[in-house]
Amino acid sequence: MTEFEQALEAILAKDPRYSREAYLFLREALEHLRAEMLRSGGNARHVSGQELLENLKQLALTQFGPMAWTVLDDWGVRSCPDWGEIVFNLIDEKVLTKTANDSKADFQGNYDFHETFRRPFQRSGR
């Protein structure tokens, strides 16, 4: 079992609000974001909450399209602050690190899940 898997088991035992898949998706989004940084000639660096949220949004829309709302809801992720809770659970287990300026507040009020994941796929006139 990898260190990530061990940490994930500990997190899920303490905080069952979010599914394993949500944590795996967040890790995938971070890896994707860091790879983009390297491809664009930059260095892998600390990622802000806002950058991560934007990447999570784009990745969810790309991978799940009209099902993004349903998938995220099934994972227990219903708003941007939920991603903050997941990030800070990973920080608490020393999987991720934070700077002195990072807080859960970085994940507040970034985008509305309904507007982002449902409205674009609703039929007009309904």
State percent of the chain over pLDDT 90.
76
- Average pLDDT over the chain, rounded to an integer: 92
The 10s digit of each residue's pLDDT in 3-41 is 999 999 999 999 999 999 999 999 999 999 988 888 887
Cβ within 8 Å of residue 110, ≥6 positions away: 49, 50, 53, 54, 80
Does the pLDDT at position 96 exceed 90?
A: yes
Whole-number Å distance between alpha carbons of 22 and 97:
18
What is the pTM for the complete model shown?
A: 0.90
Whole-number Å distance between alpha carbons of 53 and 105:
12
